[in-house]
């Protein structure tokens, strides 16, 4: 009986770690963008605005006042991070995602706390952050 409980606990922990960190130790929260729509020409700009607008709720506990977008790229042009979206969620999700990097000046000089990276896609109700990478 004890062996069965121990095995169950170990398997549960293993599955939980695989779910919480799919393919990377950096992923904090990831849910593939089911229902994401095609990005229009203004998609990068709109995704960047959406990410900055919700920075405070996306990063609770951080002072995101004055947050600025330092980079926004379609995942298909975003190098390794864009490729990671493809591996985690598929080519369609990658084609419909913008990787947005932000800086939180009030959190300087901490390098890790003063920057954030999110994945944003367009949905029926507008643009939404669907993954917090850093």
Residue 67, phi then psi, degrees to nearest 5: -55, 140
DSSP string, 11-49: HHHHHHHHHHSSS-SS-SEE---TTPBPP-TTHHHHHHH
* pLDDT confidence of residue 134: 87
* pLDDT confidence of residue 66: 93
Q: pLDDT tens digits, residue range 32-80?
A: 999 999 999 999 999 999 999 999 999 999 999 999 999 999 999 999 9
Query: 10-19, 24-33, 102-111, 119-128: which range is least confident on average?
Result: 10-19
Domain range summary for the chain, segments of one domain joined by +: 26-132
The separation between CA 90 and the C-alpha centre of its own chain, rounded to angstroms, equals 15
Residue 30 predicted with pLDDT over 70 = no
Query: 2-11, 13-22, 49-58, 97-106: which range is least confident on average?
Result: 13-22
Q: What residues contact 105, with CB distance under 8 A and at least 6 apart?
A: 66, 67, 68, 114
Residue length, the chain?
134
Confidence of residue 22 (pLDDT cuts 50, 70, 90): very low
């Amino acid at each position: 009986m004890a062996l069965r409980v121990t095995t169950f606990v170990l398997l549960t922990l293993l599955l939980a770690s695989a779910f919480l960190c799919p393919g990377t130790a950096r992923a904090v929260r990831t849910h593939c963008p089911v229902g994401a729509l095609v990005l229009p020409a203004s998609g990068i700009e709109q995704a960047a605005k959406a990410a900055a607008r919700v920075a405070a709720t996306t990063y609770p506990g951080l002072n995101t006042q004055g947050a600025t977008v330092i980079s926004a790229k379609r995942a298909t042009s975003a190098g390794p991070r864009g490729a990671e979206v493809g591996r985690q969620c598929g080519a369609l999700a990658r084609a419909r995602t913008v990787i947005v990097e932000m800086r939180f000046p009030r959190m300087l000089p901490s390098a890790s706390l003063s920057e954030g990276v999110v994945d944003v896609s367009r949905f029926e109700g507008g643009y939404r952050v669907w993954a917090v990478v850093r």
